[in-house]
Structure 1
């Protein structure tokens, strides 16, 4: 589930200079794979390292929240622990961060240790009452 699953080919088909909001869906491990606390603890270590990298590329964390339950649709396979919306000024900025050696060596191990599953969906704003730059 590491960066080897990053869909660079798909992302490269998008307008590289267009803003993007990444919807992150996370399911945590009960225990971190490195034995250092829970999956949530490992994710907090990941976030502490990643948020400055996002900001350095002009991005911003828009919203995070705990998933409570599936309100519509099949519950099987759709239960998540945590969600995050992260805005990047461009698709290229997201790819740059995710493919950097710093991310791969310092950040991704904590994400992998903490998350049993982590899905990121690239979105383009269609409507928002909030100004996100997209």
Structure 2
């Protein structure tokens, strides 16, 4: 299962609306004994998040799914706000970040990273 975005996906993310802020939904399934590695990654990644203007909005453990197919339960959920797609792309390609991202890769058995944008209110 995939846990890291590939280079082409990151380039496409940055290409479309590079200055647009967004919130990244992270759905995480830990590998056996992966939680400790992910916690270490999170501690180290916090400095990069601040450096590139990101903000952790929410982090929590997944509980029993109320509506889901078999195998769709997640161990953890995070919401991270980034000031722009370009800032996110710069962060994940920073050599220092890439060094610690190995901890994240080892910690996870599966992940979903989904950029989101807010719904706009329509005049009605």
Give the alignment's TM-score, normalised by structure 2: 0.86
* Residue of structure 2 in register with 1:116 after alignment: 109
Aligned to 2:90: 96
Secondary structure of the equivalent of 1:17?
coil
Aligned residue-pair number:
118
Q: Would the aligned equivalents of 2:4 and 2:105 in 1 still touch at CA under 8 Å?
A: no
Secondary structure at the aligned position of 2:25 is classed as strand
Question: Is the 1:3–1:104 contact (alpha carbons within 8 Å) kept by the matching residues of 2?
Answer: no
Gapped runs of 5+ residues in structure 1? 31-37, 128-134
Q: Is the 8 A contact 1:46 1:108 kept in 2?
A: yes
Give the 4+ runs in structure 1 shifted more than 2 A: 1-6
Distance 2:57 2:78 in 1: 8
Superposed displacement of residue 9, structure 1:
3.4
Structure 2: gaps spanning 5 or more residues: none
The RMSD of aligned alpha carbons is: 1.7
1:1-134 alignment runs, 5 A limit: 1=2, 3=4, 5-6=6-7, 7-30=9-32, 38-76=33-71, 78-105=72-99, 107-126=100-119
Conserved 8 A contact 2:24-2:81 = yes
- Return the TM-score normalized by structure 1: 0.80
Q: What is the alpha-carbon distance in structure 2 between the residues aligned to residue 64 and residue 84 of structure 1? A: 4
Deviation at 1:68, TM superposition (A): 0.6
